[in-house]
Amino acid sequence: MKLRISHRTVYRYQQPIRNLVQSLRLTPSVFEGQRTHDWQIDVTGGIRGPGFRDGAGDWIEGWTLRGPAEEVTVSIEGRVDTRDTAGVLRGHREIVHPLTYLRDSPTTAPDPGLRDLAQSVQAQDPLDLAHALSRAISDAIAFRPGVTQTQTTAAEALALGEGVCQDHTHALIAVARLRDMPARYVSGYLHSTIDGEAHDAAHAWAEIHVQGLGWVGFDAANRSCPDERYVRLGSGFDASDAAPIRGVAMGSGAEDMDVRVQVEEMAQ
């Protein structure tokens, strides 16, 4: 699938900021399932700093901006060719050992509810277990935007029984780790849901390390594994660690953020 992606994040500040430092994880991953073309990142008024590929294989680049500034726009325009690898992350270079991802974070820390759910799932082998855990999270947490916050934990989302892709991903990571399967958070884009409905926001899913197969993606929010509709950006222990944009603005006053994402299929 040939996808054209447009992604804009606009920060508006109540009081002009003096300076801004950002770390951007906004470049598509390099693996057999996707090939990137004409990828442009821009920060209005910003100066691009050095970039590097981290131990997880993600490309990170720094930007700085000298104020005063009342508004800053981070924009991405690009094209990616994708193909279905049945969710398996093939050809991705990284040096972080998979067992590192057995470590909990504040948003994926287990509680009795997550422990009970993790132990209730039966499976024939590790891959079957990963699929069964993903289905269990899909059944336990209904997709409902607006009921959770960015700080909502996996335990809170499970108790509520509702949430968005971030909540499904945190909960799936938690139960996989409880079954001794390394799991991590992946940020990226989704062209459309499995029923063909266009997806107009950034997306997230989990990767679970399956012995003998490697990292495999599971999108519990859409009851599927990533295929050619997905574009992978980067990964981390949780949503905060895998955030596409991280930064510090020097100034006082409140900040407002507006995010617009468009993923279109291009003509062959």
What's the mean pLDDT in 179-197?
88
Please report the pLDDT score of residue 199 as a whole number. Answer: 67
Q: What is the mean pLDDT of the chain?
A: 94
What's the mean pLDDT in 242-257?
88
Specify the pTM. Answer: 0.94
Please report the pLDDT score of residue 80 as a whole number. Answer: 97
Q: So where are the chain's domains?
A: 2-81+245-265, 85-236
CA 162, 29, 74, 266 torsion: positive or negative? negative
Q: Residue 117 has which token pair? A: 């759910």
Give the list of residues 6+ apart from residue 197 with CB closer than 8 angstroms, or none.
Answer: none
| pLDDT higher than 90, residue 266 | no
Distance CA 221, CA 139 (A): 10
Is 2-81+245-265 CATH 3.20.20.210? no
Is 85-236 CATH 3.10.620.30? yes
